Structure 1
Amino acid sequence: MRLRAVALLLQAVAVGALVVGVAAAAGQLAANHRGWALDALAWAILAMVFQVAILAWAWRVLGAGWWPEGDGLLWLRSFARGWVARYVPGPPTGPAGKLLALREAGMAPPAVAALLWVDQVLGLASGVAAAAAMAVPAFGREWVAIAGLAGAAALSLVVVGTRPALVRRLSGRFGKGGMHEAAAISPRRATVAFVAMTAAAVVAGLAFHVTAVVVSPWPLGRWEEGAAVFCLASMAGYVAPFAPSGAGVRESVIVALLGQELGVSAALAVAVVARATSVLVDAALLAGFYGASALWRCANRRRAGVALSNRRA
C-alpha cells in the first residue's frame, strides 16, 4: 500500500512538471514559429518518436525473461513511468519511476536492481559512444585520438559494468536470500540494448540537426556536426543528476558549441525550440499511452462483467 502511494505521488508530480513544461514549450513555439518550415520540423518530430521507440524496445530486451506472462505490457508501463519521471527535479527520478512500477507489479528486488543497474550503465555508455562516433565525421581527423579513447571507454564500461558476476553481486544485496536470489543480464542482451541505445542517441542528434536547420541559418549539409553537438550536450545533461531530463545543462552546452557560429541568440533559440519540441513529443506519446491503457482497462472490466453475468444466468 505504501509503495502504491509513493508511486502515485511520483507520477502525479512528474505529470504536473510535464504539464508545466508543455505550457512553456507551447508558448515558446507559438511566439517564435513565424518563418519556420513547419513541414520540415515534422521530420524532427518523427525522429524523436523513433528515438523513444528504440529506447523502449531496448528496455524490453534487457528484461526479456522477467516480464510476467500475465502482464505483457509491464515493460512498456515501467518504461513510460520512468520516462515521465525524468521531469521531476532533483536526484535521478527516471530509475525511480521504473523501480516503483516494477516493484508494484511484484518483480523480485534482485531482478529490479539488476535491470536498473545495467540500464543506467548502458545509458551512460551509449551517450559516450554516440558522441565518439560522431566526433570525427563532424570535427575532422584531429579528433581521432579523442574519439578512440572515448569509444574504448564506452566499450569498457559496457563490458565491466554489465559483467554477470558484478551484477549478481550487486543485485544479491537486495534479496532476502542473498546471492541465492541474485540476478544478472546476459552479455548478449546487454550488447543488443547498448547498440540500440547508441542508435537512439544518434537519431536524437539528427532530430536536433533538423530542428536547427528549421529555426536558424544552420546549414542542412552539416548534419554530422549538428548531431555531434547534440550528442555532447545530451551526455553533459545525462551526468548532471540535479537537472530534470538535463534541462539547462544541455542547452548551455548547445549555446557554447553553436554560439560562435550562429550567434548566442540564434543558438539559444535552437536549444530552446529543440527542448520545447521534445517536451511536446513526450507529452503526446505519454498521453497516448495512458489514454490507451485507460481504454484497455475499461474494456477488460466490461468483458469481466459480461462473463460474470453470463455465468450467473
Structure 2
Amino acid sequence: LQLAMGWARRLPWSGARRKSHDPAAEGVAASGRHKDALLKEVRSLASKVRQALPEAEQHMVTQLMLSAETLGSMAQDSFLPEWRHAEIVERLTSAVGNTFAPWGIWMAGGPGAGKGHVLSHLVRAGCLPAGSFAHLDVDAQRAHLPAWSGDTNEPKLISTVERTQSEAGYISDLAMSRAARQRIPFVVDGTLRDAAHTVRSIARARFMSEQWKDTGAEGHRFMRPLRVAVILVDASLEVCLARVARRAAVTGRPVQDDFVRRCNAGCAKSAYAVKDSVDLFVHILNNGEFTFVEGGLRDIQMFAMSA
C-alpha cells in the first residue's frame, strides 16, 4: 500500500488532494470505514496508477492488487447472532409440513453443471411438487450476510465469496438438521465435493429424523426412516465455464475458473463414493438436453411420493 501511495504522489491528479491533506483526520476517518470500502479504494487507486505508469512497471501494480485481494479473503467476519440464524432457518423450513415418510435429496455437481435448472425441471414435471420440500441452497444464504451485502462490486469480489462460504454452509447445515428433526422433506443444493462430509451429514440427518420415537409422539409407530437420494448433475468443462461466466454477469456471483475445473473433475467422483450410502442414486448429463446416465424421472417421482 505504501508503494501505491508513493506512486500516487507522483501523479498530476494527486496534487489537489495534497492541499487539503490532514493525516490525523484521515486516519480517524479510515479507521471507521468498512474494510471492503478500503479494498475498493485500493482497487480504484491501482487502476489510476496503472494508467499513469510505464508499461514496464505495471506488473508491480498487479502484484499489489493480488496482495490486497489476498488480505480481503483473509478477513475474519463475525457470524450473525444465534437468533438471526434461527430466523433464517425457520423461514427456510417452516413453510413445509412434516410427514410420516420424510426424504432428503443431496444435489451433486460443480458450478455450471445446471443443478438449479434440473431441480426446476423436476418441480415442473411433478416429480418434486412445489412446496413439498425445503430448498436449502448454500449460495442463497450469502444474501443474509453483511460481507455480501456490503460488497457493491459487480460482480462480487472473489474474496467476498470465500469469506461468506463458511457461514452460508453453516446456515444450510442448521436448516438441514431442523428439517430432518421435524421430518420435513428437503433438498440440499450444493456441489457434494466432499464425500466424507456428506456421508456424515446423511448419517446425522437419519439419526435426527428418528428422534420422534423418543418423544412419545402419537403415531410414531407408522413413521418411516428418512430416505436419502443423490442426484448428480454432470456437464462438460467447457459448458460449465460458459454457464458460470454468464451467471456471474447476471447475478454478480463470481466463481474462479480453477474452482470450476476442480469441481468438474471431482464432484462426480465424490457422488459415486457415497452411492452405497443412499436409497436412490441418479446421474444426469446436462450439456443442453437431459440424458439420464443412471436412474430416471420415474425413479425420482416414486422416491418422493412413496409413503
TM-score (norm 1): 0.27
Looking at CA atoms only, which structure, 1 or 2, has the larger radius of gyration? 2
- Report the structure, 1 or 2, having the larger strand content: 2
- Report the structure, 1 or 2, having the larger helix content: 1
TM-score (norm 2): 0.27
